[in-house]
Amino acid sequence: MAQAINDNSTSVFSTDVKTRVSSPGYQAYQILRLGFIVVPIVAGLDKFFHFLVNWDQYLPPFVNNLTGGHGHELMLAVGVIEIVAGLGVLFKPKVFAYVVSAWLLLIVVNLLMIPGYFDVALRDFGLSLGALALARLSHEFDQ
């Protein structure tokens, strides 16, 4: 009799997991989570190697002046922060997805200070909304 109860509860659990994994909400969560793990880590690493772009061009001149001409070093620190944020989303999406969303909003403010980068600012605003959506979904799907 006890064996029958265990078998039934296992099959109910298995069915619940299959239903949950196949739900569009869970799939959206996983897609956003993967994106907000990989993209910040790749962008952060690229601050050191400049394979994708020269990231220093996204720093307003007055910020470079505030750092005493050490804007490149500031961008290296930004790279470290982005790597940590991506790893944070990997391990603690409930917290770090909010961090990534806020970080992207700071990038938007930064880009609005540079003429000619308003399109990139708009894109990053959209990414910030995606990170916020991930944060909200993580309350439902992150164990």
Instruction: Divide the 143 residues of the chain into consecutive groups of 10 and give the mean pLDDT of each group.
Output: 54 66 93 98 98 95 93 97 98 98 97 96 98 97 87
56: number of Cβ within 10 Å: 14
Question: Which tens digits make up the pLDDT trace of 72-91?
Answer: 999 999 999 999 999 999 99
- Quote the pLDDT of residue 15: 62
Residue 11 identity (one-letter amino acid) = S
Angle value at C-alpha 75, between 73 and 77, nearest 5 degrees: 75
The total of other beta-carbon atoms located within 10 Å of residue 113's CB is 13
Could you give phi then psi for residue 33, rounded to 5 degrees?
A: -60, -45
pLDDT at residue 97 in the model: 98
Provide the H-helix boundaries in the chain. 2-21, 24-49, 61-66, 71-91, 93-112, 118-141
Q: Nearest 5°: phi and psi at 55?
A: -65, -20
Q: Which domain holds residue 45?
A: 2-141
- Positive or negative, the CA dihedral 32, 37, 40, 46 is negative
Express as a percent the part of the chain with pLDDT over 90: 83
Round to the nearest angstrom and report the end-to-end CA distance of the chain: 32
The answer to whether 23 and 29 are in contact (CB under 8 A) is: no
Q: How many domains does the chain have?
A: 1
pLDDT of residue 22: 86
* pTM for this entry: 0.85
